[in-house]
Structure formats: C-alpha cells, structure tokens
A = this chain, B = another copy of it.
Amino acid sequence: MKDIIVQKFGGTSVADTDKIKNVAKAVIREKNLGHNVVVVVSAMGHTTDILMKLAGEITSKPSSRELDMLLSTGEGVSIALLAMALQEQGCDAVSMNAMQVGIITEKVHTKARILDIKTDKITKHLEEGKVVVIAGFQGITDDFEITTLGRGGSDTSAVALAGVLKAKRCDIYTDVEGVYTTDPRIVPCASKLAEISYDEMMELASGGANVLHPRAVETAMTHNTPVRVRSTFKLDDIGTLILGVDKMEIHKPVTGVALDRERIRIVVCDVQDNPGTAAILFDGLAKENISVDMIIQSYARKDLNTNDIAFTMEKADLDKAMQVLRNVKLELGYSRVFVDEKIAKISIVGAGMVGRPGIAAKMFRTLANLGINIKMIATSDIKISCLVDIEKADEAVSVLHSVFGLDSDEIADVKGDLPNV
C-alpha cells in the first residue's frame, strides 16, 4: 500500500464552508502527491462555545457524560461537510466518527485517554482509494459510552491514528506557520525552527507553548511518528518537523526560549523537618488534582530543625491549594504561607545542552547582568528554568533569545490568536 499521511485541521481551519472547501483542496493536493490520506478534523470554529452556552442555559453543573454527548456532535458536522466537499471536488471520501472507527478510550468523561484504535475499516477504505475523514477529539469506551479527549484532543487523535496506521507523517495544520524559537509577539525576530525533537517540544509545550499539546507530542514520541506543524493558509510553507532526536539533522545547544506567566509561587515557612512532611503536603495537593511544577526545600532555621518549602503551580488552582494547606497545618506545623503571584517562568530548552554546564551559567549571568533576581531554578537534561519577576520577563526572554543565537534576520509575520512557542 502507498504511504499514509495523516492531516489534522483544527476548528479555525474548518470555521465555515469556504474554509472547508479550502481544506478539501489541501487534502487533494496531498493525495495527488501519491499518498493515502487520512484527515482528522475538529468541530467548526465556535461550535464548542455555542454548545457550551446552550448547556450553561440549562445548568451550571452539567454532568460530564452528557457534556461529552453534546460536544461530540460538533465533529459529526465537520466530518460530513468535509467528506461532501471532497466528493464535490471529485475525490472519493468517507467520514467516520469515533464509534465507527473504534477509537477506544478509558471511561473518563471530558478528558479520556486513548487505549486502542481499530484500523481495519480505515485500511479497507484507503485500499478502495478513498480519503478517510475522521472525527477528532472524541472516543468511545468498550461499552459504547461517548467520551472526549479534553484539551489538545484532536491533535492527539491525529497523532495516535498516524501511529497505529504507521503513517509516514502526521501534518498538524493550524493558523501559525510552525514552531518558533520563542513567542514572536514578545521577540519579533524569533525564528521558525525547521525541526525540533519530541523532548524539546515537550519542554517548550509544558513551559507554556500552545502550538501542540504535550499529550500529542508524547503520543508521537511513543510511536516515533514524525509530526509537521504547518499553516493551513500557506500550503507551500513546510512549517516545523517534530521528530526523534536521533533523526534530527541540526543540533544547537539551545533550541528555544519559553515563557510561562500563568504560574504562582507558594512558600510554606518553617515546616517541621520530620520524615514524611513533604509527602503529606504534596499528597494533599495531588488529591485535589493540583499539578505542581518546581519544588525547592531549604533549611529555614537549623536550630529549630525547620524547612521552607517553595513550589510553583497554576494560578487557577490557588483557592484549592490554600484549602489543602489549611487541612495539613497541624501535621506540618508551618508558621506562615507566602503567595507570590507576580512571577514568570523562563526556560531555555535544547537537546544539545546535555553535558554542557556552560549553558546554565550563561543563562544566570545574562539575567544577573539585567539586574534580574532569580527566585527559583529547576533543571532537566534538556531544560533550565528560572523563576523571575513578571515585570522583567519579556526583557529577559528577548535578551536570552539573542544571547543564545536564536535571533532571525527577518521579522516574524505573526497573526491569529494562538500564541507561539
């Protein structure tokens, strides 16, 4: 059989019937290159908002099962319309929803993970020369309950399908032109990356990038499927290829600079230094589904045998976190809690920094030269993150971008709502 290309088009790309016709053209273009094509689409434009508004008129706390039933109708519309548009342009096509394909997920509503995807029907249609148009974002459990995959769901559907179908490549069409070295709205001379490794993409994405959801990147990495992020509106631009580090041609020490403004820092002072106190705190947070990012424990008063524990987390979870802290006050015996909302996390990411300690030192020195105080530091094999004052964040990103040689000669042409890496 011919090589399979999976193409994914998001809600903006199928927002109206004219855009759907354009998507059909992009699909046919790929098919004419000699490929079998599987297309994954999201719901049209603002469909989800409209459906959520209807639900909101009925109840302030819709059951997650019924919410999934409601939201999954959105892709039913877009797959049928795209199949019609392909047929109208003379291309044999068939639409399939998650039930018809057999995209099996856990029985967790509104944020299910894919467990298995059946390929027999898709393969049969491809062998008959058809383009197969598949509903993203949705799945079914093994007892036919409808689920949705949550944020980044359609991307994950596409990449997972590409994986099980052993596709040559998964192309994520979006309204940005690729992955940039940093957010071009902050640093206008940010450059578009030709390629980036899964690991780097994960670190950039979880550091605040919105081009491709970390779940989708993780899924691509599992199947070792190359993913190309490219623009729906500039079909000649090949965008950015995300692939295994072993397949990369270019190895720079630093690939990109990420900025995350959505976090806060909490410092819990004078925690009794008994075995298990940290576990009590972070277990409590985990039970409330609060995702903690950077953690630092340091001696506060050696004489009193107490520690300070500082950590960062998402702003939105503050109220829940404070409740957890009240609940564990007796066990932890802390004196005070400080909340610091005016922080930003800046990360430099690069698969090439492994074993190059000079990179970290260069980052710290650059920030020091700018008079920026580093409040916390965290490192991984391919990332160094510093917590700084939010007022200084943009300047810091811009200078680091330049210092690590990422500036482009051209000014990035940025449009659309989606922030870039």
Contact = CB atoms under 8 A, between A and B. Distances in A.
A90 to B, nearest CB: 11
Interface in A74-124: 74, 76-77, 79-81, 83-85, 87-88, 94-95, 97, 99-100
Interface string A30-65: 000000000000000000000100110111001101
A74 B51 CA distance: 12
B84 A62 contact: yes
Interface string A136-150: 000000001110000
A290 interface: no
Given A17-B54, A77-B51, A85 B59 contact: yes
A360 interface: no
What DSSP secondary structure best describes chain A's contact surface? helix
Number of copies: 2
A21 interface: yes
A55 B145 CA distance: 28
Nearest to A67: B80
A70 interface: yes
Given A63-B87, A87-B63, A69 B76 contact: yes
A88 B58 contact: yes
Contacts of A144: 99-100
A94 B65 CA distance: 9
A77 to B, nearest CB: 5
A227 interface: no
A388 interface: no
A277 interface: no
A199 B56 CA distance: 45
Given A58-B21, A58-B84, A85-B58, A72 B76 contact: yes
A210 interface: no
A67 B17 CA distance: 15
A76 B74 CA distance: 10
A69 B59 contact: no
A397 interface: no
A21 B58 CA distance: 7
Contacts of A76: 69-70, 72-73, 76
Contacts of A55: 80-81, 84
A351 interface: no
Contacts of A97: 69, 146
Contacts of A85: 58-59
A20 interface: yes
8 contacts: A17-B54, A59-B87, A69-B97, A70-B80, A70-B84, A73-B74, A76-B76, A99-B99
